[in-house]
């Protein structure tokens, strides 16, 4: 038998001969589901598909876990807080834990062939490898001298850990704190935690973990932008906005600390601040609920240096029920290992249903200061109200250059943030502009009477 002694020997070891006879009954599939009703339905459908496929294969029945049902703790989405519970619940019988998105498809026979190559009594971290093309602010410029030297898993392709690795991580998580209270780019941070500055395994790249279907794939990803039944939508600086996405907005207002008829901007009676914009954002939400603007079901709040594809946002919002309290965007976390809270990061755009805004404004939640971080305050308020923060990977807090090119090139992005060292018009044209005729865009968006 071949025994891997280090990261550089592991891949060579795996290609010698079959090491394992793991059955599906020793596999736990964790679907990274969300509490929002649309996502809960999609993940339940995926679970049923996996179990039906297992019955047809006749090679055992895997355990399929919907992450949002694992415990009552909302912060389980960041994976690390959930590992001790996963191990305590399933570690006795399981040899492998597979983590997939709700739109990731599994081919169980191919997955077993992959797992048979890796001795289950050793520590393994498997997936499709991504790496930074340049030093990235969202990864705090880690490995800035050689960004491509560190790989992390592509979430859309799924990733796997063996039981010995999961056990060690679960024990470690119970006895130490994370280096940062913030959860920003989940899978990069998981890879760093697993690697443990060289004391743990690096990601082993597995060609059968795929983002697009090929003949030998064990996993593949279906879509980032599903085509759902239309629902009515509302979207809520300045030269770039007008040159890019303003024309696609059904109703749009610019807010500032002063009125300026040349733009025009609307004064909210809140002074400008250099840090957070909590006072201004809460004023926007009060205005949204007032009679000062047309009544609408959805509110989009963005910074003036955020680029947005409204046609894609309209398509995405077809999937959501505006009668629910929905907070949608790129999800970050604060203090999640210690029962903290999640929030939709403001730079990528915050999409709120009218019900969510109404619940928030009637709850008594407020800013402790006008310059408090609005996105974090809103996230903390929603957590206290039991309103889930719903994540979409199509919203981006940073520029395209700050993400793995292999990852974002497979998406139909909805937003990017920051104009620093980029041409925003070129970014919009390359990453966000749809070449469909406007009539076709309107048909696909289908803005109906609310």
Domain final residue, candidates 167, 189, 221: 221
Name the domain count of the chain. Answer: 2
The pLDDT, as a whole number, for residue 340 is 94
Q: CA–CA separation, 115 vs 126, rounded Å?
A: 9
Under the banding of pLDDT at 50, 70 and 90, the label for residue 296 is confident
Three-state DSSP state, 31: strand
With a cut of 70, say whether residue 436 has pLDDT above it: no
Contact status, residue 134 vs residue 146, Cβ threshold 8 Å: no
The pLDDT, as a whole number, for residue 165 is 98
The pLDDT, as a whole number, for residue 274 is 60
For 247, the token pair is 């024309």
**Same structural domain for residues 217 and 312?**
no
Taking alpha carbons only, the member of 207, 373, 194 closest to residue 275 is 373
Q: What percentage of the chain has pLDDT greater than the value 90?
A: 67
**Same structural domain for residues 102 and 190?**
yes
Q: CA–CA separation, 218 vs 290, rounded Å?
A: 52
CATH number at residue 287: 3.90.550.50
With a cut of 60, say whether residue 378 has pLDDT above it: yes
Q: What is the pLDDT of residues 198-213, one digit of tens each?
A: 999 999 999 999 988 8
- Classify residue 233: in a domain, yes or no: no
With a cut of 50, say whether residue 15 has pLDDT above it: no
Q: What is the pLDDT of residues 116-171, one digit of tens each?
A: 999 999 999 999 999 999 999 999 999 989 988 999 999 999 999 999 999 999 99
Q: CA–CA separation, 80 vs 338, rounded Å?
A: 11
Q: CA–CA separation, 357 vs 374, rounded Å?
A: 14
With a cut of 80, say whether residue 59 has pLDDT above it: yes
**Same structural domain for residues 250 and 198?**
no
* 4-13, 247-256, 407-416: range with lowest mean pLDDT: 4-13
Q: What is the pLDDT of residues 22-54, one digit of tens each?
A: 899 999 999 999 999 999 999 999 999 999 999
* CA contacts within 13 A on the Cβ side of 347: 14
The pLDDT, as a whole number, for residue 256 is 54
Q: CA–CA separation, 256 vs 284, rounded Å?
A: 10
**Same structural domain for residues 194 and 326?**
no
* 19-33, 235-249, 382-396: range with lowest mean pLDDT: 235-249
Three-state DSSP state, 34: coil
For 6, the token pair is 């280090």
With a cut of 90, say whether residue 352 has pLDDT above it: yes
**Same structural domain for residues 185 and 243?**
no
Q: What is the pTM of this model?
A: 0.82
With a cut of 50, say whether residue 445 has pLDDT above it: no
Domain span holding position 419: 239-432
| H or E element at residue 374 | helix 374-385
**Same structural domain for residues 298 and 188?**
no
Tell me the pLDDT of the chain averaged across its residues.
Answer: 85
Q: CA–CA separation, 287 vs 281, rounded Å?
A: 10
**Same structural domain for residues 281 and 397?**
yes
**Same structural domain for residues 248 and 172?**
no
- Classify residue 202: in a domain, yes or no: yes
**Same structural domain for residues 197 and 99?**
yes
With a cut of 70, say whether residue 263 has pLDDT above it: no
- Classify residue 14: in a domain, yes or no: no
**Same structural domain for residues 42 and 131?**
yes
**Same structural domain for residues 31 and 162?**
yes
**Same structural domain for residues 341 and 407?**
yes
Q: What percentage of the chain has pLDDT greater than the value 70?
A: 81
For 284, the token pair is 């926007």
CATH number at residue 104: 3.90.550
Helices of type H across 71-175: 83-90, 108-115, 163-173
């Amino acid at each position: 038998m071949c025994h891997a002694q280090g990261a550089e020997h592991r891949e060579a070891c795996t290609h010698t001969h079959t090491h394992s006879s793991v059955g599906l009954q020793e596999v736990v599939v964790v679907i990274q589901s969300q509490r929002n009703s649309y996502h809960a339905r999609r993940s339940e459908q995926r679970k049923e598909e996996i179990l039906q496929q297992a019955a047809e294969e006749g090679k055992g029945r895997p355990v399929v876990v919907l992450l949002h049902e694992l415990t009552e703790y909302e912060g389980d989405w960041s994976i690390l807080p959930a590992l001790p519970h996963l191990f305590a619940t399933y570690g006795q019988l399981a040899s492998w834990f597979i983590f997939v998105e709700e739109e990731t498809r599994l081919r169980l026979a191919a997955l077993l062939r992959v797992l048979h190559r890796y001795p289950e009594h050793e520590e393994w971290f498997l997936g499709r490898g991504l790496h930074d093309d340049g030093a990235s602010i969202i990864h705090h410029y880690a490995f800035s001298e050689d960004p491509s030297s560190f790989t992390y898993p592509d979430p859309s392709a799924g990733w796997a850990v063996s039981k010995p690795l999961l056990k060690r991580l679960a024990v470690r998580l119970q006895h130490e704190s994370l280096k940062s209270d913030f959860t920003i780019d989940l899978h990069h941070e998981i890879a760093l935690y697993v690697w443990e500055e060289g004391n743990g395994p690096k990601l082993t790249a597995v060609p059968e973990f795929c983002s697009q279907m090929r003949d030998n794939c064990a996993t593949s990803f279906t879509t980032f932008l599903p085509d759902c039944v239309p629902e009515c939508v509302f979207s809520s600086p300045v030269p770039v906005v007008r040159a890019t996405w303003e024309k696609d907005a059904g109703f749009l207002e610019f807010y500032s600390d002063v009125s300026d008829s040349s733009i025009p901007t609307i004064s909210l009676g809140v002074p400008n601040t250099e840090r957070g914009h909590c006072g201004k954002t809460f004023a926007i939400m009060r205005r949204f609920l007032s009679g000062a603007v047309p009544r609408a079901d959805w509110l989009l709040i963005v910074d003036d240096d955020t680029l947005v594809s409204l046609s894609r946002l309209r398509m995405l919002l077809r999937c959501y029920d505006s009668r629910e309290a929905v907070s949608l965007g790129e999800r970050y976390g604060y203090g999640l290992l210690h029962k903290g809270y999640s929030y939709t990061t403001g730079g990528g755009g915050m999409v709120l249903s009218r019900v969510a805004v109404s619940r928030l404004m009637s709850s008594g939640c407020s800013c402790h200061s006008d310059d408090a971080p609005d996105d974090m305050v809103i996230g903390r308020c929603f957590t206290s109200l039991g309103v889930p923060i719903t994540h979409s990977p199509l919203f981006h807090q940073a520029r395209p250059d700050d993400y793995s090119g292999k990852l974002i090139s497979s998406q139909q992005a909805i937003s990017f943030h920051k104009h620093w060292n980029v041409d925003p018009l070129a970014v919009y044209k390359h990453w966000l502009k749809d070449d469909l005729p406007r009539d076709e865009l309107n048909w696909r968006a289908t803005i109906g009477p609310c």
